[in-house]
């Protein structure tokens, strides 16, 4: 809808989609690794590379914002989306790095559940970003936003259940500290996904 009014080199929607796609790629790598019970050095490097590629897209968006006189949506919203999408991938990298540093191994049922919910939520974010190209599909975009919000609530409950079981059953204080941080960071990813959809909903209201 908006693309035809902009030079091709200032394709903000395409760049935002790239960011979201990198987040989805990192989530897939994380989910597959968690299912095996550990983050290997190879997997961590793959996730770090995805995070690096996402950073490059973020910088490109910021550079284009600085050069653009006209933007398809408010430049503040583009900046906010770019930041939050970058934060998603950064957090996926952070969790993976922590697991590697803490030498966490073994399949954990809550982290496995988190990995699936995170991937589903990030895919929902990708759908909302793709939908911004054509605001005729507002209902479809809103459905994705609602689903991401629902998944964030699921994440809250999962974190609470995981922490409850952790404090009830684990006697090693070091393990408690490690897993508490991992669970909370996993839930933070879902919080950031919800932040993205909140921005998208605000954009829809402004352009109604």
CA distances from residue 151 to 11, 103, 144, 191, 195 in whole angstroms, order as listed: 30, 28, 11, 9, 12
pLDDT score at 134: 79
| 179 contact partners, CB below 8 Å, separation of at least 6 | 104, 108, 162, 166, 170
Report the CATH number of the 7-206 domain.
Answer: 1.20.58.220
Q: How far is it, in rounded angstroms, from Cα 10 to Cα 180? A: 42
The chain-wide mean pLDDT, for the chain, equals 93
SS3 68: coil
Q: Does the pLDDT value for residue 4 go beyond 50? A: no
Confidence at 135, pLDDT banded by 50, 70, 90: confident
pLDDT tens sequence across 86-111:
999 999 999 999 999 999 989 999 99
Question: Does the predicted TM-score (pTM) go above 0.75?
Answer: yes
Q: How far is it, in rounded angstroms, from Cα 99 to Cα 181? A: 10
Mean pLDDT, rounded, for 156-182: 97
Q: Does the pLDDT value for residue 7 go beyond 80? A: no
pLDDT score at 67: 85
Listed by start position, the domains of the chain span 7-206
């Amino acid at each position: 809808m908006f693309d035809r009014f902009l030079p091709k080199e200032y394709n903000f929607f395409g760049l935002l989609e790239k960011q979201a796609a990198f987040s989805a790629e990192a989530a897939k790598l994380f989910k597959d690794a968690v299912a095996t019970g550990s983050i290997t050095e190879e997997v961590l490097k793959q996730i770090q590379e995805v995070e690096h590629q996402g950073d490059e897209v973020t910088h490109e968006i910021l550079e284009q914002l600085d050069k653009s006189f006209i933007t398809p949506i408010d430049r503040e919203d583009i900046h906010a989306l770019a930041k939050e999408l970058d934060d998603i991938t950064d957090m996926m990298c952070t969790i993976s790095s922590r697991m590697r540093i803490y030498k966490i191994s073994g399949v954990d049922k809550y982290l496995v559940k988190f990995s699936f919910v995170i991937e589903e939520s990030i895919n929902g974010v990708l759908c909302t970003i793709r939908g911004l190209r054509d605001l005729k599909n507002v209902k479809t975009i809103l459905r994705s936003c609602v689903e991401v919000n629902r998944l964030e609530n699921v994440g809250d409950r999962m974190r609470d259940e995981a922490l409850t079981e952790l404090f009830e059953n684990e006697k090693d204080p070091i393990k408690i500290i490690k897993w508490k941080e991992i669970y909370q960071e996993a839930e933070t990813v879902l919080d950031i996904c919800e932040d993205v959809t909140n921005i998208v909903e605000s954009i829809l209201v402004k352009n109604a």
